[in-house]
Structure 1
Amino acid sequence: MNSRLRNIFLVFGIVAVVVMLFTFDISYEELLANLRRAGIYLPLVLLLWVFIYLINTASWYIIIRSGGSISSLTFAKLFKFTVSGFAMNYVTPVGLMGGEPYRVMEVTPYVGVERATSSVVLYVMMHIFSHFLFWMSAVVVYACFYHVNWEMGIVLGLITVFCLFLGTLLAKGYKHGMAIACVKVGSHIPFLKKYAIRFSEKNKEKLENIDKQIALFHQQRKSTFYGSLFMEYLARIVSCLEVWLILNILTTNVSFISCFLILAFSSLMANLLFFLPMQLGGREGGFALAVGGLSLSGAFGVYTALITRVRELFWIVIGLLLMKIGNKKK
């Protein structure tokens, strides 16, 4: 990636982190007290995300390797791009508007723009699809282990319909590609319309090639497709350990199944508020509602959200620092 573009991403990320630090809805004394209360569990939570990001990287690595040799693009470099990409997603409104363009630009010198774009689009689709599977799994788990009254039945039904509807759209995207469809959507959005139309006309052949690569990936490389999807789903399951570790600071009467449901429902709430950087407010509200729905104290949810925010800020800083380390030189 051009050094100037990388510096723009870096500056934007630093500004976003500073804004977030000054908008914490808790005093720094109280924050430090809560961090001291976490004790050894806080380093364990931070370390856990090394393994989660490794799983995410493996999912992307599987996709890129399916297109041919990538000898110059090592797993370590891809791990660096993964962590930095997620850091940009955290600090960018509408999430994917920051991290995914960054990944495309970083990988392009190694595999070319078309292959870089198709691999990132495919990875994003896998990442989103794994969330739908995660939320659907939560519906099934809740129905099996908890009493479902009519109010909760309506909620679970709405989640199921939501996941099935969007999952169907993604399935069509796997079969026919998504690049041209995304540009068409952009051509109907105010302020983006003229840029999307101009981009579509200028890059029509490249967009068609990207869509062909996406469709071929789904049709001809089934084992690779499901392997990548499994790794992303596994990352969702492993991330439940974070909730389990945090809640064990407060109580020992919490099961992994409860943590699975808490993370699933809170992540659903946060993703519905995708237009906010770090889903500010949505994450906290989601944790409080999910914990309350499982008959745990709402304070547990607030504390869990707080430690999660600290973990996110820590890895955002790491991701921003990695943007300036070990870059490909022209």
Structure 2
Amino acid sequence: MKWSLNNIFFVLGLVVVVVMLFTFDVSFVELWDHICRAGYWLIPIIGIWIVIYGLNALAWMAIIKGNTDPDEHVGFWRIFKLTITGYALNYATPVGGLGGEPYRIMELSKDISKQHATSSVILYAMMHMFSHFWFWFSTVFFYLILALAGDEACSLNTTVCIVLGVIVVFCLIAFYLFSRGYRYGLVVRAIRWIGHLPGLKGWSQRFLAAHAESLHKVDEQIAALHQQSRRNFYVALLLEYFARVVQSAEVLFMLLLFGIDGGGGFDGIMLTYMHSILIVSLTTLFANLIGFLPMQLGVQEGGFALSTAALGLTAAQGLFVSIICR
């Protein structure tokens, strides 16, 4: 990537942060009060993201190793840097948080071939979302186990059962679509699908005609990871899934700050951690369903409000959690 493009991305990030600050629903005074209330808890709350991004980077490295030639090598710290900066752009841009992928492709192309960089970035983006679906799917049964065990925060009424059923069906459909993508690739299909959008048919046909060979090779590399490098595939999936579990510790720290500890002791803290996993699951599901908003403005806050209310917490507690997470 040219130096000028790096500056463009840097300026874009600054502009989005300024927009976020001036459109945030909470005043600076109230925001500062919340930060002061968090106090020293901000250290583990922020520090946990070093672990999360480290797991993300390891997952991406596993994909790169299973998708590149033996003479191509990218170091961990290089991937760690691109992971953080890529996600920063994802949070700052619309279209489902995909703004960081072009940046990652351009930067990674400095270390490996452009085709391998493209397929590795696409594969990691797919894996990141694939792990989300497994997280949502598994937490449905996690919720049922807690409910059947008598957890008062996990009720089982008609509405809850319908919602859980919809989530299961939604995830099963996604698993089928992902299996198709991993088996046959999806880049060519995605470009053809874009051609069905108004005004983009001509562009789609020209792009496919000009880059047909390269796009088919990228699709072949996407399919090859699952077919020929299954160990790397499942290692990446487990790392990404575990990152979602670790992310739940962020919510746990904030609930402990409120004195919510499930009755105290190790068992109480573990129960609170289980509730934190459910909160993160519902919040991320809600945020990804409406993920086209820049910075996901209002979406994350709404997700936390819904998930915390569902588990018996107050609106003020949900707002505090969302603000500190932001």
TM-score by length of 1: 0.91
1:52 matched to which residue of 2?
52
The correspondence of residues 1-330 of structure 1 with structure 2, limited to 5 A, is 1-66=1-66, 67-69=68-70, 73-146=74-147, 147-254=155-262, 255-309=272-326
Distance 1:252 1:4, change over 3 A: same
Q: CA RMSD in A?
A: 1.3
Structure 1 residues 130 and 169, CA gap change in structure 2 (3 angstroms): same
Shift of 1:71: 5.7
Q: Deviations over 1:264-304 (max 9, x none)?
A: 00110111111101221111111111111111222211110
- Structure 1 runs not aligned, ≥5 long: 310-330
Return the offset for 1:4. Answer: 2.1
CA distance in 2, matches of 1:70, 1:303: 49
Amino acid corresponding to residue 53 of structure 1 in structure 2: Y
User: Are the equivalent residues in 2 in contact too, given 1:291–1:298 (CA < 8 A)?
Assistant: yes
Q: Distance in 1 between matches of 2:198 and 2:126?
A: 25
- Output the CA distance in 2 between the equivalents of 1:208 and 1:284: 41
Q: Match of 2:230, as an amino acid?
A: K
Counterpart CA distance in 1 for 2:250 and 2:223 is 35
Paired positions, count = 309
Cα separation, 1, equivalents of 2:84 and 2:199: 31
Residue number in structure 1 paired with 2:269: none
Pair 230,23 (structure 1): closer, same or farther in 2 beyond 3 Å: same
Return the alpha-carbon distance in structure 2 between the equivalents of residues 70 and 229 of structure 1: 25
Separation in structure 2 between the aligned mates of residue 76 and residue 247 of structure 1, nearest angstrom: 32
2:268 aligned residue: none
Tell me the CA shift for residue 112 of structure 1.
1.2
d(CA) in 2 for partners of 1:196, 1:22: 38
Q: Which residue of 2 aligns with 1:318?
A: none
1:82-109: CA deviation from partner (whole Å, max 9, x where unpaired): 1000000000011343101110000012
Q: Deviations over 1:185-233 (max 9, x none)?
A: 2112234433332221111000100111111111111111100111110
Contact 2:135 2:241 in 1 (8 A): yes
- Please say if residues 249 and 273 of structure 2, whose CA atoms lie closer than 8 Å, have aligned partners that are also in contact: yes
Distance 2:282 2:202 in 1: 38
User: 2:287·2:300 contact (CA, 8 Å) conserved in 1?
Assistant: yes
Distance in 2 of aligned mates of 1:169 and 1:295? 35
- In structure 1, what is the Cα distance between the partners aligned to 2:136 and 2:71? 34
Q: Provide the rounded CA distance (Å) in 2 between the counterparts of 1:40 and 1:193.
A: 55
Question: Does the 8 Å CA contact 1:100/1:120 hold for their aligned counterparts?
Answer: yes
Distance 1:17 1:285 in 2: 20
Q: Output the TM-score relative to the length of structure 2.
A: 0.92
Q: Which moved more, 1:115-124 or 1:6-15?
A: 6-15
- Structure 2 counterpart of 1:111, one-letter code: I
Distance in structure 2 (CA, Å) of the matches to 1:70 and 1:150: 57
SS of aligned partner of 1:111: coil
Contact 2:136 2:285 (8 Å CA) reproduced: yes
**2:69 match: secondary structure:** coil
| Alignment partners' CA distance in 2, 1:187 and 1:181 | 10
Q: Which amino acid aligns with 2:11?
A: V
Native 8 Å contact 1:176 1:211 kept in 2: yes
**Cα deviations by residue, 1:246-272 (Å, 9 ceiling, x for unpaired):** 111112334111000001001101111
Residue 166 of structure 2 aligns to a residue whose secondary structure is: helix
Percent identity over paired residues: 44
Cα separation, 2, equivalents of 1:96 and 1:279? 9
Which amino acid letter does the alignment assign opposite residue 13 of structure 1? Answer: G
Are the equivalent residues in 2 in contact too, given 1:240–1:259 (CA < 8 A)?
yes
Query: Does the 8 Å CA contact 1:70/1:111 hold for their aligned counterparts?
Result: no
8 A contact 1:244–1:256 mirrored in 2: yes
Q: State the Cα distance separating 1:148 from its structure 2 match.
A: 1.3
- How far apart are 1:70 and its partner, in Å? 5.9
Is the 1:16–1:91 Cα contact (8 Å) retained in structure 2? Answer: yes
Work out whether residues 73 and 112 of structure 2, in 8 Å CA contact, stay in contact via their aligned partners in 1. Answer: no
